[in-house]
Amino acid sequence: MSGLEVDLVLPNGKPIQLSIGLFINNEFVRGSSVEKLTSIDPANEESIASVEIATETDVDRAVDAARAAFNNPAWRDLTPEDRAQLLHRAADLCEKHLDELFALQAWDVGKPYQSSKAGEGAHFLGCLRYFAGWADKLTGKSFPVSKDKFGYSIRQPVGVCGAITPWNYPLTQSAWKLGPALATGNVIILKPSEHSPLAALYLAKLFKEAGYPPGVVQVLNGYGNRTGEAIASHLGVDKIAFTGSTATGKRVLRSAAVNMKRVSIEAGGKTAFIVFDDADLEQAAKWAKEGGFGNSGQICNANSRVLVQEGVQDKFINLFSDIAQATTVGLPFDDATTQGPQASKMQYDKVLGYIHSANQQGAKLVTGGKPYTCDAANGRGYFIEPTIYTNVTPDMTIFREEVFGPVIAVSTFKTEDEAVALANDSTYGLAAVVFSENLKKAHRVAARLQTGTVWINESNGTDYKLPFGGVKQSGLGRELGESALDGYTEEQIIHVNLGVQL
């Protein structure tokens, strides 16, 4: 025992021992800082546990261990089949301990435990196994040049990867980065958000148990502007995969330029949800609720702008309002809960600030608009009512900025061209939604939308087999699907001379 273990009883009643150190070279160790990072339960504002913080010195240690692991035959010379087997073994262990992983996540950030374990759990495990399946399918190409020469390509791992993950989907986003990085033969340093430090530490223990060599998978907790910055700017890191806000993504991009490391960024969004007058309005309202209020609105591609065609706006808003008011806001470990608290005091205050702005700027409040008093939490916690505004114009703050909370702005449009123009009137380009029973029109509109993803007659249906990412200021590159492998490999071209003499 390292003295870095704490005994906890999860809110679902399950006892757990959690290592709270930095996970470097397959060991939990103390950081070089005397400062600790404390996880706060957003449902009752009480402390859960404090973990070690990684300084620049600790990042140096982790990068050195990662580089040694990358060059070590114990990892470097594994066959693709061996890499696949390791990743499958890690997924199996995660499945065995899914309760602990998702209970820690729910405790840390306020997600409804049962629904997130069921939905995200399947995606999390499926993502790891999907990329395990790619490990032995990384083929190159051959290029006939002449009778005396040919060339061929091979896919080489990039090297030491830094992964900076957000607090809204800690486990899912870890899988999005661990899966393709490890399947392609890289080593990875995972830096969870300072608002969600716990689940990644338990995940590190499972990857060690799966048999990953020292230095291949490491976890460093800390603040983004310190630990994250140290990883992004480190000369020994070859690639950064970042998910978070657009503002932070820009800082990561600047830091990564120091050695022109490879960068993939999935940043903010302001998804437009277009409802045409021929849509199934009941289904549209249900999906608007799912995609806008799911995860307490803390989704990068949340459909926070709903654009409704004139003539059906009153019927749609009545349906949507009824569904929103039926939301069960409550404690994350209450099975009836469909919306938990905001993940932190910072996010809670930010969302309330957007509500105040909407009121000041003349938007019409339909439902919600204030903090929610959760009796089960004795009035504590960062709860906010599901909130809908209408009469929202494009110059209003809630139309333009990413709220990242349960606040939806409803606007109207007359024509297809106007709907497209409103949807594209954004610095973001992550996702969009089109609802229409006329699939010819829906496909036509989808092709005109300036986003990385478009959903037709659904919302937020992310699948690990399909690429995901944004355009404009929503990011660079793609995660998931076969496309994700491009961000973790370099194409090396080899020229072969068959007989040309000089």
Percentage above 70 pLDDT, the chain: 100
Q: What sign for the dihedral angle of Cα 470, 474, 477, 479?
A: negative
The yes-or-no verdict on residue 234 having pLDDT over 70 is yes
What is the average pLDDT across 73-101? 98
Distance CA 435, CA 183 (A): 37
Q: Which two tokens stand for residue 217?
A: 């998978």
Confidence of residue 500 (pLDDT cuts 50, 70, 90): confident
pLDDT tens-digit readout, 164-210? 999 999 999 999 999 999 999 999 999 999 999 999 999 999 999 99
Distance CA 383, CA 345 (A): 10
pLDDT of amino acid 36: 97
- Cα 404 to Cα 150, 167, 269, 305, distances in angstroms: 53, 12, 9, 12
> What average pLDDT does the structure give for the chain?
97
Q: Which residues are catalytic?
A: 266, 300
Where are any strands of DSSP class E within 313-462? 364-367, 387-390, 407-413, 428-429, 431-435, 453-456
Q: What's 377's DSSP letter? A: G
Distance CA 364, CA 8 (A): 46
Q: Which two tokens stand for residue 444?
A: 């036509």
pLDDT tens-digit readout, 120-143? 999 999 999 999 999 999 999 999
The yes-or-no verdict on residue 84 having pLDDT over 90 is yes
How many CA atoms are closer than 13 Å to the CA of 250, on its beta-carbon side? 6
What is the average pLDDT across 206-235? 98
pLDDT of amino acid 3: 82
pTM: 0.96
The yes-or-no verdict on residue 406 having pLDDT over 60 is yes
The position carrying tokens 């060059």 is 71
Work out the burial of residue 168: count CB atoms within 10 Å of its CB; fewer than 13 is exposed, 13-18 middle, 19 or more buried.
Answer: buried
Q: Which two tokens stand for residue 203?
A: 């995940």
Q: What's 384's DSSP letter? A: B
**Phi, psi of 297, deg, nearest 5:** 75, 5
β-partners of residue 143 are 151
- Bridge-based pairing state of the strands 475-476 and 305-309: unpaired
**Phi, psi of 404, deg, nearest 5:** 60, 50
pLDDT of amino acid 288: 98
pLDDT of amino acid 1: 53
The yes-or-no verdict on residue 274 having pLDDT over 90 is yes
Residues 6+ apart with CB under 8 A from 502: none
pLDDT of amino acid 166: 97
pLDDT tens-digit readout, 464-485? 999 999 999 999 999 999 999 9
The yes-or-no verdict on residue 380 having pLDDT over 80 is yes
What is the average pLDDT across 230-241? 98
